[in-house]
Structures are given as C-alpha cells and as structure tokens.
Structure 1
C-alpha cells in the first residue's frame, strides 16, 4: 500500500527501515514526549508490530519517505490506541528532528486522514499527545482536528485529545 502526496510517499515499513527509523525513535529530542527513547530492540518490535497491523487491519504506521531522494524521514499512520480507556483510531506521527517544521508531518497526517475516511468505516479520527507537545498538537490542528478532551494520566501526566469527524472532513473538502 502506497500513499503519495506532493512531496512524500507513505509505504509499509520493512525490516530494511531499521537504521533510518532507529535514528528517529532513538533520538532523545524526537522522543522527549515519550516515557523513554527507543533502543534497538524497541525499534525492531515497533517495525514488527506495524507489519502485523498491516496484516490484521490493513493499516498501521507507514514509512514517510521523501519523493525527491527516497530517504525515510519518519513514520505516520493509523493505529488503534487506548485513549482514556477506550480503543480509538489514532493518527500518529514521528518526523526526524532535522526535517521538522517543514510541513512534512502535516502533509503526511492529512494524507492518512484522507485515506482513513476513504477506506475505513471510522466516523471519527483522533490524535492524542502529552500536553506539552506543542508540535504534535499543531500538526493535529493542521489536519482539521479540534481539541475535544484533556485528562490526567500516568504516562503523559496530562493528555490532550484532538479529533476530526467524517462530517468535518467532508466540509473541509468543499
């Protein structure tokens, strides 16, 4: 499965993506809002979990690749996450530090949003993040999401939840 945007290709992750993904998920700055930075084993598990998701759900986190160079600069996709005790479809993303603030996260997230509303039955999509992760919620807002909930939790101290409904997405397309 491949999604193309103006500057990006989103494709399934493979074991061959380990080095590039480790450079992202193993970066303390990129992962500052996670409980910890990923070691090699966690990155391999991350890749394998997504490969399994593709087989079960037909979606997961996909490699974000620059069209111009073929370079993997992050991951973005749709996963099923527990958000405030309920399983919900979530758009998640990680972009390599030197590629942030160039619109790649928003471009990839919008492509995933469009794919999800076109090819899945979900009527609402979510993104959730630690309350201090300004870049992440700016990306969520750029995809048309609105803040719908905030709650305390053990992992993020305080979590913000953004969402967009199918109806809101349809209005964006007009």
Structure 2
C-alpha cells in the first residue's frame, strides 16, 4: 500500500484491485454521482474497468490521479480524491477533485483532502494554478473550494455538461495563504 498523502484524519493512497467493491458501494449511494460528469451511476463492470485503467495506465503515465481516500479512525475507504489533468477550453489544467462517501460528509473531510492536494500540487508540480471543476448547483463542493482559497474564475461547458464553474487558485494566491 503506497501512501501518497496523509492528513490528520485521512490517508490518500494508490488504489488497489481490492478496492473495487468499496468504490462501487460509494458510487451507488443515492445522489453520490449527481454532480459527477453526466450524473449517471456506473455499472459494476465500468467501475472495474476504470479502476484497472487508473491503476495500470493513468497513475504510471501522468504521475498523479485519483487516490483511494481512507478514514484513519475507521480504516474504511471513504472516497476518491486527487489531482487530474483536464483539458478546459483548450488548455491543460491540473484539477483538485474529491468525492466522499455520504456517511462521512459534513465533517470537513473533503476540505481536508482538497487542501492537502492543493498544497501537494504547488509543492511538487510545476504549475501556476490549480482548479476544481464544479457543477453550479453543487453548493457543498463549491464551499470546499472556497474554504481552500479558490474562487470562481469562469463558467464553461465541460465534456458536454453545461454551467460548470471553474474554481481556481494561483500559486501567488496560495503563497499569500502561507503555502
């Protein structure tokens, strides 16, 4: 188990094939996928395929991606959070993304993970900014971004989904926060 990041309450590690059932359980919780892409809940086989590609292709090729997010106190896989390279309006951007098990929401865990990932990105990657792509109605995710110093930069259509807010924080803004 390779740990990528650790916070007070979370471990972000590389996914394992054994994470499939827990990941599928999280994805199929009512409302969990509502603001992820088209909002469609993936079939088990699709999650299995995604997990395989992520483990064997995305992380090795990019050097970053989504990580299994484990709650330290319970030892449970409670989501997936990470850094993803996205093309937004023709420009390659580094996105901080997060998805947390509904039983663990409202505890500041997404904010904690996103903050650690933001800091990791600025400390380890040659980027001038990081973003989060958030569908406008997703108030909870917008609050997470704002708590981490991000602000709405623009709105766009992303992968066919209209009204997506592009939140961002620049390296200079991060440094002013004490980064």
Q: Please give the range of the TM-score, normalised by the shorter of the 2 chains.
A: over 0.9
Distance 1:12 1:6 in 2: 18
CA deviation digits over 1:127-173, x for unaligned, max 9? 01211111111111111111000134573331111001111111111
Partner of 1:49: 53
Distance (whole Å) between structure 2 residues aligned to residue 45 and residue 66 of structure 1: 25
The match for 1:170 is 175
Q: Distance in 1 between matches of 2:78 and 2:14?
A: 13
Say if 1:89 and 1:126, in contact at 8 Å, map to a contact too: yes
Aligned partner of 2:162 in structure 1 is 157
What is the deviation of 1:68? 1.4
Q: Any conservation in 1 of the 2:88–2:158 contact (CA below 8 Å)?
A: no
Partner of 1:72: 77
Shift in Å at residue 72 of structure 1? 0.5
Per the alignment, in what secondary structure is the counterpart of residue 177 of structure 2?
Answer: helix
Matched, 1:97 2:97: no
Distance in 1 (alpha carbons) for counterparts of 2:117 and 2:158: 27
What is the match of residue 128 of structure 1? 133
CA offsets 1:74-108 (integer angstroms, 9 cap, x no match): 01000111223332111111101111111010000
For structure 2, which runs of at least 5 residues remain unmatched after alignment? none
Please say if residues 82 and 97 of structure 2, whose CA atoms lie closer than 8 Å, have aligned partners that are also in contact: yes
TM-score (normalizing by structure 1)? 0.93
Tell me the number of residue pairs that the alignment of Structure 1 and Structure 2 aligns.
Answer: 174
Unaligned runs of at least 5 residues, structure 1: none
